[in-house]
């Protein structure tokens, strides 16, 4: 029977030669790239309706949560509702949440199609520009990851909606921003071991009609926010427009609506 070592016994560790030169993990990783960068243009097939959280709505939510004294009801300002519905970026540019774009693509993924949603969730990353939104609580920060919207200027849209729940629903007018002619250049990275380029293209194309982006999309019993992968010609036209070397590409389907 082996002798049980005492706590005072010294255990000898064999010599292990370690290189004095540090390992460059960045260089090692670059030789084994997993995620593949990609870029694509998605082009609106129907107008896009956006609806960001307004400063007023966030303040009301915060006041309710901290049980603050409610102030009197303000007079409705449709112009302010319209402006607040937009995801403003620099200058006269606007964007759309990158999380919304990714969730749209994920909506078309399913294990029965050979592309499980959980796999796509981990294998797809969409680049975004971080824009600091105004928070309800002073001193807090709220960075919004946005994908830039290219196209015509947003217009004020008026819709009949219902607010409340159950039998207490009442009719209401909603004023939100609409982009009639629009497109987005989406860039990011994907894991080709899990998600092939062909599978990603399929998910984007299918989600553009089956789900869509923004308010009143197909997924929400509407027809707005539908899109498709740009054709080679459309990519050339939108790239030229963004660089200021061409006119705004006008889909034949809604030239009249945009005029």
Q: Would you say residue 109 lies in a domain?
A: yes
Per-residue confidence (pLDDT) for residue 16, from 0 to 100: 47
Query: If we measure between CA atoms, which residue out of 22, 11, 84 comes closest to residue 51?
Result: 84
What percent of the chain is modeled with pLDDT above 90?
A: 62
Q: Would you say residue 13 lies in a domain?
A: no
- Per DSSP, 80 falls in state H
Mean pLDDT of 49-56: 87
The pTM for the full model equals 0.82
For residue range 32-51, what is the model confidence (pLDDT) as tens digits?
A: 658 999 999 999 999 999 99
Q: Would you say residue 14 lies in a domain?
A: no
**Number of separate domains in the chain:** 1
Split at pLDDT 50, 70, 90, the class of 25 is low
For residue range 108-130, what is the model confidence (pLDDT) as tens digits?
A: 999 998 899 999 999 999 999 99
Mean pLDDT of 1-11: 50
Residue numbers of the domain that contains 203: 38-258
Q: Would you say residue 211 lies in a domain?
A: yes
Q: Would you say residue 56 lies in a domain?
A: yes
Q: Would you say residue 213 lies in a domain?
A: yes
For residue range 141-189, what is the model confidence (pLDDT) as tens digits?
A: 889 999 999 999 999 999 988 887 777 888 889 999 999 999 999 999 9
Q: Judge residue 89's burial from the number of C-beta atoms within 10 Å of its C-beta, 0-12 exposed, 13-18 middle, 19 or more buried.
A: middle
Neighbours of 73 (CB within 10 A): 6
Q: Which two tokens stand for residue 54?
A: 């307004």
């Amino acid at each position: 029977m082996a002798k049980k070592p005492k706590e005072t016994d010294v255990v000898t560790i064999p010599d292990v030669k370690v290189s004095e030169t540090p390992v460059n993990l960045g260089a090692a990783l670059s030789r084994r790239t997993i995620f593949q960068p990609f870029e694509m243009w998605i082009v609106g097939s129907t107008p896009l309706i956006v609806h960001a959280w307004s400063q007023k709505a966030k303040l009301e939510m915060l006041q309710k949560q901290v049980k603050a004294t409610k102030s009197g009801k303000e007079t409705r300002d449709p112009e302010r509702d319209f402006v607040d519905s937009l995801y403003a970026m620099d200058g006269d540019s606007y964007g759309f949440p990158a999380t919304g774009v990714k969730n749209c693509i994920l909506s078309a993924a399913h294990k029965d199609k050979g592309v499980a949603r959980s796999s796509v969730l981990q294998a797809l990353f969409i680049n975004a520009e971080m824009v600091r939104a105004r928070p309800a609580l002073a001193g807090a920060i709220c960075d919004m990851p946005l994908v830039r919207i290219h196209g015509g200027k947003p217009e004020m849209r008026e819709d009949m909606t219902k607010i409340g729940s159950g039998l207490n629903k009442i009719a209401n007018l909603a004023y939100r921003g609409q982009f009639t002619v629009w497109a987005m250049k989406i860039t990011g990275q994907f894991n080709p071991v899990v998600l092939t380029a062909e599978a990603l293209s399929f998910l984007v194309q299918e989600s553009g009609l089956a789900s869509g982006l923004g308010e009143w999309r197909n997924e929400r019993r509407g027809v707005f926010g539908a899109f498709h992968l740009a054709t080679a010609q459309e990519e050339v036209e939108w790239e030229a427009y963004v660089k200021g070397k061409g006119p705004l590409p006008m889909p034949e389907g809604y030239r009249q609506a945009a005029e």
